[in-house]
């Protein structure tokens, strides 16, 4: 069993243990779950061994990150993992405690007080380097040209959101399948209606397509050049959110929009994540530019060819 398999098993158990507790549904960090995640060493999983981490790659963490998101991301596991990896890469010490990814305004990031607690610590770009900050001290800053470190933050943040959206869609699918089997109307379960079956099939297709795009982007990021694959995956994930969230809610009827039902948290997360680190227009223009520069077919191949296969003569 590899270290990522062991972590996955523990993360699955951890989330299962905390699944049925009563909680404030707008809470952004379950303290008990967070404490256990720290015991497992999860926040440092992508950091080098010298910093106390496991040096895991994106592909190795795909299932862990996606699972946490499929459970509603009850604590900012993904954000902290990526923040610590970026801090370590920049030669800084990893953070103590949970961190949220943020960006200076001017680029789609998260707004303090709206997307995360006002007193949370965030990883952001302060104009010269990535840095930990409290959102209150985060000045409004227009960015002319982005230095490499900030590009890294955007790319890593976008990829994290793609993996999390893949997880959230799978979570929404699992809930929808279960609900359609349990809920009866007109004397039979919803799952026996062909119209409902086809909505479930479409939701599954969106989840599968997003997972495929996310895995490809993870592989390319691990291989050193993820920019085009991440752009493509973020775009595809955003489209899947548009379709997938609506399908899941349509299957659930009114119960799905109540704050206490778990779908609410999944869809709120998905909609927010598709805005983070570049919305649809941002990445669509980026892919379009690549298409003009290289040709449409070359761009398709460059974005989806498996690792090590960039030599297309």
Partner 1 sequence: MSVTEGVTMLPPAALKLRREVREFLAGYAQDWTTFDRAHSWAGVDREFSRAVGKRGWIGMTWPAPWGAGRSAFERFVLQEEMLAAGAPVGLHWVADRQSGPLILKVGTLEQQQRYLPGIASGDISFCIGMSEPNAGSDLASLESRADRDTGGWRLNGTKLWTTNAQYCQVMIGLFRTQGPAREMRQGGLTQFLIELDCPGIEVRPIADLNGESHFNEVVFNDVFVPDERVLGTEGQGWEQVTSELALERSGSERFLSAFPLVAAAAAKFAEMPEARIESADLATLGALIAETAVLRSLSLMVAGKLERDEDPSYLAVITKDLGAELEQRTAPAVRSLFDMPAADLRKAIEHTTRAAPTFSLRGGAREILRGITARSLGVR
Instruction: Give the binding site for partner 1 (CB under 8 A).
Output: 59, 62-63, 66-67, 70, 166-167, 170, 173, 177, 180-181, 191-192, 194, 196-198, 200-202, 204-205, 208-209, 211-213, 215-216, 219, 231-233, 235-236, 239, 280-281, 283-293, 295-297, 299-301, 303-309, 311-313
> For residues 3 and 297, which CB has a smaller minimum distance to partner 1 in the complex?
297
Shortest distance (Å) from residue 306 CB to partner 1: 5
Task: Report the distance separating Cα 198 and Cα 191, nearest Å.
Answer: 10
Residue where the block lists tokens 């862990």 = 64
Alpha carbon of residue 23 to chain centroid? 22
> For residues 166 and 270, which CB has a smaller minimum distance to partner 1 in the complex?
166
> For residues 101 and 219, which CB has a smaller minimum distance to partner 1 in the complex?
219
What b/e readout covers 90-105, taking b as 16+ CB neighbours within 10 angstroms? eeeebbeebbbbbbbe
Shortest distance (Å) from residue 151 CB to partner 1: 18
Task: Report the distance separating Cα 153 and Cα 101, nearest Å.
Answer: 9
Identify the three-state secondary structure at position 235: helix
Shortest distance (Å) from residue 181 CB to partner 1: 7
Q: Which residues contact 187 (CB under 8 A, 6 or more apart)?
A: none
Shortest distance (Å) from residue 69 CB to partner 1: 10
Shortest distance (Å) from residue 196 CB to partner 1: 8
> For residues 141 and 281, which CB has a smaller minimum distance to partner 1 in the complex?
281
* Distance (Å) of CA 153 to CA 14, 86, 163, 214, 287: 28, 7, 15, 17, 19
> For residues 87 and 159, which CB has a smaller minimum distance to partner 1 in the complex?
159
Shortest distance (Å) from residue 234 CB to partner 1: 9
Instruction: Using alpha carbons, select from 154, 165, 166, 159 the residue that is nearest to residue 277.
Output: 154
Give me the phi and psi of 201, to 5 degrees please: -65, -40
Shortest distance (Å) from residue 313 CB to partner 1: 4
Q: What is the DSSP letter of 118?
A: T
> For residues 74 and 98, which CB has a smaller minimum distance to partner 1 in the complex?
74
* Distance (Å) of CA 73 to CA 165, 181, 282: 11, 25, 25
> For residues 120 and 216, which CB has a smaller minimum distance to partner 1 in the complex?
216
> For residues 41 and 189, which CB has a smaller minimum distance to partner 1 in the complex?
189
Instruction: Using alpha carbons, select from 46, 69, 89, 50 the residue that is nearest to residue 173.
Output: 69
Task: Report the distance separating Cα 267 and Cα 248, nearest Å.
Answer: 9
Q: Which residues contact 300 (CB under 8 A, 6 or more apart)?
A: none
Shortest distance (Å) from residue 309 CB to partner 1: 4
Q: Which residues contact 114 (CB under 8 A, 6 or more apart)?
A: none
> For residues 86 and 290, which CB has a smaller minimum distance to partner 1 in the complex?
290
Shortest distance (Å) from residue 138 CB to partner 1: 28
């Amino acid at each position: 069993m590899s270290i990522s398999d062991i972590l996955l098993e523990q993360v699955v158990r951890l989330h299962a243990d905390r699944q049925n507790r009563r909680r404030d549904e707008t809470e952004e960090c379950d303290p008990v779950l967070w404490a256990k995640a720290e015991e497992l060493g999860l926040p440092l999983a992508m950091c080098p061994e010298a910093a106390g981490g496991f040096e895991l790659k994106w592909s190795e963490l795909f299932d862990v990150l996606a699972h946490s998101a499929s459970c509603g991301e009850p604590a900012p596991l993904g954000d902290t993992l990526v923040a610590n990896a970026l801090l370590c890469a920049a030669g800084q010490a990893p953070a103590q405690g949970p961190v949220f990814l943020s960006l200076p305004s001017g680029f789609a990031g998260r707004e303090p007080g709206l997307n995360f607690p006002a007193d949370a610590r965030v990883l952001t770009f302060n104009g010269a380097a990535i840095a930990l900050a409290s959102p209150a001290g985060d000045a409004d800053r227009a960015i002319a040209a982005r230095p490499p470190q900030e590009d890294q933050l955007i790319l890593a943040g976008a990829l994290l959101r793609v993996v999390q959206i893949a997880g959230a869609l799978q979570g929404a699918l699992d809930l929808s399948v279960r609900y359609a089997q349990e809920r009866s109307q007109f004397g039979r379960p919803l799952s026996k209606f062909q119209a409902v079956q086809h909505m479930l099939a479409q939701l599954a297709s969106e989840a599968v397509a997003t997972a495929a795009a996310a895995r490809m982007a993870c592989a390319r990021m691990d291989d050193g050049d993820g920019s085009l694959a991440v752009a493509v995956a973020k775009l595809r994930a955003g489209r899947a959110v548009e379709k997938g969230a609506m399908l899941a809610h349509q299957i659930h009827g009114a119960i799905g929009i109540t704050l206490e039902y778990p779908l609410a948290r999944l869809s709120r997360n998905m909609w927010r994540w598709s805005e983070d680190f570049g919305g649809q227009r941002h990445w669509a223009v980026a892919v379009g530019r690549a298409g003009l520069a290289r040709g449409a077919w070359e761009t398709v191949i460059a974005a989806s060819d498996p690792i090590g296969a960039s030599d297309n003569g």
